[in-house]
A and B are shown apart, each in its own frame.
Chain A
Amino acid sequence: EAQVTQNPRYLITVTGKKLTVTCSQNMNHEYMSWYRQDPGLGLRQIYYSMNVEVTDKGDVPEGYKVSRKEKRNFPLILESPSPNQTSLYFCASSFEGARNQPQHFGDGTRLSIL
């Protein structure tokens, strides 16, 4: 089954404790992206990657890092989480050159930073 898998689904942690949210897709997609969803703001892009070792900032990259060492994985790293990063996070993927095709989304990761 084609899917985007995020882990963990839920996490409660404390300020400053480094955490990583993993994202893996099994569709051989080149393009992957992270979004955060906040009430009343919709989804906003954090980082994206066009292919292995190619990443770039989205609209709200502050406080986040990403890496793309393998095509299937695109982890989101919070080096020193703060309460304003409490949010619902989604990973998405699609084929490069297929912007007219819908992106596939994971089920989301709900982070609470205390």
Chain B
Amino acid sequence: AQSVTQLGSHVSVSEGALVLLRCNYSSSVPPYLFWYVQYPNQGLQLLLKYTTGATLVKGINGFEAEFKKSETSFHLTKPSAHMSDAAEYFCAAINSGGSNYKLTFGKGTLLTVNP
């Protein structure tokens, strides 16, 4: 079964510093991959996705992620953190085949941005 691992349940950075949130997936067939952000008391908002094509994908709010098949990874980065980036981030995968469009989520990474 598909699994998604997010390394680090809590990441703390200073404002202006690099943000790096790690995500690894388990399947031998690369799934479609997504990063979602959840602000307090809100639903999930899509940051970016990888399906096929260019392995470096850009999303909203200055975030980007790189799909690396050899490392089964899809890490999320942002060059310079802003206070408004403080939120919980979820990496998710969906198998490219099968009858269920189930998203398999990582356990989430809470990002804290310090002034």
Which residues of A come within 8 Å of B, CB atoms? 31, 33, 35, 40-45, 48, 50, 56, 58-59, 90, 92, 94, 96, 99-100, 102-103, 105-108
Contacts and interface: CB of A to CB of B under 8 A. Distances in A.
Given A100-B51, A103-B101, 18 more contacts: A31-B101, A33-B101, A42-B106, A43-B105, A45-B103, A48-B100, A50-B99, A58-B100, A90-B43, A90-B44, A94-B101, A99-B96, A99-B101, A100-B52, A102-B46, A105-B44, A105-B45, A108-B41
Interface residues of B, number: 28
A45 B4 CA distance: 14
| Majority secondary structure of chain B interface residues (helix, strand, loop or mixed) | loop
A41 B44 contact: no
Contacts, number: 63
A103 B103 contact: yes
Nearest to B4: A42
A107 B43 contact: yes
A48 B101 contact: yes
A56 B100 CA distance: 9
Contacts of A58: 100, 102
A42 B4 CA distance: 10
Given A40-B9, A48-B101, A56-B100, A108 B46 contact: no
Contacts of B45: 105
A52 B102 CA distance: 17
A95 B100 CA distance: 12
Nearest to B106: A42
B25 interface: no
List of 5 A-B pairs having minimum Cβ-Cβ separation, nearest first: A42-B105, A100-B51, A102-B46, A42-B107, A107-B43
Contacts of A94: 101
B49 A102 contact: yes
Nearest to B107: A42
Nearest to B47: A102
B95 to A, nearest CB: 8
A6 to B, nearest CB: 9
A100 to B, nearest CB: 4
A33 B52 CA distance: 24
